[in-house]
Structure 1
Amino acid sequence: METIQGISSFTNTSFQTAVTIGTFDGVHLGHSKILERLINNAKKTGLKSTVLTFFPHPRMVLQKDTNIKLLNTLEEKKQILEALGLDYLIVHPFTKAFSRLSATDFVRDILVNNLKTKKIIIGYDHRFGRNRNANIQDLITFGTALDFEVEEIPAQEIDDIAVSSTKIRNALLEGDITVANSYLSYNYMLTGSIKKGKGLGKEFGFPTANLHIEENYKLIPKNGVYVVKSILDGKEYFGMMNIGYNPTVAGTEKSIEVNFFDFEGDLYDQKVQVGIIHRIRDEHKFDSVQALKEQLKEDKKTSLSLISK
């Protein structure tokens, strides 16, 4: 898959495309059905499968919604889409100026002239153009005039996508990683760089890697202890992760700390991705550091038992 930053950077002159448009946050099971349809159709017709997405999220720009939380960072979304077999991902900067583009200009200049679109697969409720005043019927009319085909994704599928996205977000906020993963069809992931912490985990016999996530829009699951796995130095490792404030040792800042089992090495300043498999328990304030140490031993036993299953 090739990732293109900005529509103007897509300088293709040798092939035509099959396109779908959207944020595809989470790239969950509902999204995957649409993307598989796009990819299969493109292969059959000799087109290149292309997703046109926008960043920042339109709500961040138009509604100044800085509290919006997304299931994927941009890099995570790229990773998932590439695994599906997509040909091109075009990430276009969403700005107020772009939102004012007329429907005619968007279809003629961007979809037809720039992307060489021959087929668009899009939801029945898709709206576009300035003030979102054009709908799928307008798009079909444009298609007749400008020689591209429109395939409508029916209401049931679009509604299923909305329901799935809501259920995933709610499940993560409630700590129900099993439900979230079942809708995603992959383990919910957190990606960040490892930064130095206070070193308390090492003192307790459970050295931790402190995961710093740069993207403040990334949805972080409910505080608590989780079973996770990662690929480190090309090898799979399991571990347990705490999300929270470390109240037993009077922590004041929220942190994400991972204790990898059987891993020896320096991860500082490295980029690490953890997939969350199970949730063990809530974060608690223990009566003593010794009580916390004993609980960590129990957490590890529980983690290993869940991993073995």
Structure 2
Amino acid sequence: MKIHRDLNDFYAHNPVLTVGTFDGVHLGHRKIIARLHDLAKAINGESVIFTFDPHPRKIVAPAESNLRLLTTLDEKIELFEQSGIDHLIVYPFTPEFAQLSYEQFVEQILVGQIHTKSLVVGYDHKFGRGRQGDFEFLKGCADRHEFQIEKLDVLLVNESNVSSTKIREAIQIGDFETANVFLGYSFVLHGTVVEGQKLGRQIQFPTANIEASDPDKIIPGYGVYAVQAKVQNKTYRGMLNIGSRPTVNRNADHRSIEVHLFDFDSDIYGEHLELIFFRKLREEQKFESLDALKEQLAKDKANTISFFQAIQK
């Protein structure tokens, strides 16, 4: 996959293209990508995804503070590469670009620079200033500029339409059974191990405190989770607590993230860590004593071990 940060030297043979933010690169997005591959093969062309950095809402609504993303740019790039796309355009979303009408975007960029042969959009595609770039509008553009256009129907999984919004909602309540099915993979959070209060060491459950790699990355809701963690090129099972932190930190909604890794005893301050979420074990609780907390953590560990043993069978 070739990655393009601008269009100065861009070239694709008979480009078959789709446009969007693709947050999550979920099953609905993959349906579009599969269609790109089919159409490109039919015309001896190349598949192209056109996306943006930063996310458009950071430019068009800079005062908003509730942007929560399923995937960072690096995570999206990795998922696109796995999908076998020929070209990924990561276009700078600037205030000047935001002022383009969709018709200008089509004429100047999709046709004028990329020379699009075929455009594929999702069932709910709307883009551009005033959200004018719906399918009916694009059909007119396609007729004028002589490229093909196709709209795909909604993807249903378990009789529910797959969308980034529904996945975010599931993650916020800790419903990873739904979120991971809709994503087509297990939700991942990348971060760095930072100094914490070290309370866990006093009760034989030491934890690594995590600062997410992107402040806009969605953090799951409060509670205790069964996770896997990749650190120093090894994978460990563990249990993770997400709670509230009285002091401001870099994580979305200032949530604290603490993970206890099983069969692990190393100093990893400053290390990069990848967390893979599987199941919510329970809600966050307050305990009357450290002994009561320690007793519950022992139960959480037993439940986590049982969960992983069950999914291995």
Range into which the TM-score falls when normalised by the shorter chain: 0.7 to 0.9
1:259 paired with 2:260, answer yes
CA distance in 2, matches of 1:82, 1:151: 23
* TM-score, normalised relative to structure 2: 0.86
Structure 1 counterpart of 2:151: 152
- Secondary structure of the residue aligned to 1:206 is coil
Residue of structure 1 equivalent to 2:308: 307
For each residue in 1:146-200, what CA deviation from the matched residue of structure 2 results, as whole angstroms up to 9, or x when unmatched? 342111223x449999653333222222222212112112111111111122222
Partner of 1:250: none
Structure 1 range deviating more: 118-127 or 237-246: 118-127
| Mapped partners of 2:243, 2:125: distance in 1 | 39
The CA distance in 2 between the partners of 1:18 and 1:32, in whole Å, is 15
**TM-score, normalised by the number of residues in structure 1:** 0.87
Residue of structure 2 in register with 1:40 after alignment: 38
Distance 1:46 1:269 in 2: 48
CA distance in 2 between counterparts of 1:213 and 1:75 reads 13
Q: Secondary structure at the match of 1:117?
A: coil
Query: 2: CA distance between counterparts of 1:263 and 1:170?
Result: 33
- Note the alpha carbon deviations across 1:238-287, whole angstroms, 9 max, x for none: 1111111489xxxxx73101111123434322221111011111111111
Does the 8 A contact of 1:246 with 1:285 survive in 2? no
Which consecutive residues of structure 2, in runs of 5 or more, have no partner in the other structure? 247-253
Q: 1:199 to 1:128 in 2, by over 3 A?
A: closer
Aligned-CA RMSD value: 2.6
Q: How far apart are 1:110 and its partner, in Å?
A: 1.0
1:70-119 CA-partner distances (Å, limit 9, x unpaired):
21122222222222222222222223321221334312321123223211
Superposed CA deviations along residues 47-86 of structure 1, whole A, max 9, x for unmatched, are: 2222111233323322332212121122222222222222
Q: Is the 8 A contact 1:60 1:66 kept in 2?
A: no
Matches within 5 A, 1:233-244: 233-244=232-243
CA separation in 2, counterparts of 1:42 and 1:204? Answer: 59
2:16 touches 2:40 (CA, 8 Å); kept in 1? yes
Is 1:100–1:131's contact at 8 Å kept on the other side of the alignment? Answer: no
- The one of 7, 29, 38 aligned to 1:31: 29
8 A contact 2:11–2:114 mirrored in 1: no
Distance 1:134 1:278 in 2: 38
Q: Distance in 1 between matches of 2:118 and 2:214?
A: 34
Any residues of structure 2 matched to 1:113-128 within 5 Å, and which?
113-128=112-127
DSSP 3-state at the match of 1:69: coil
Number of residue equivalences:
301
Q: Greater helix share, 1 or 2? A: 1
Deviations 1:30-55 (A, max 9, x none): 22211121133324433222211123
SS in 1 for 2:177: helix
CA distance in 2, matches of 1:302, 1:70: 30
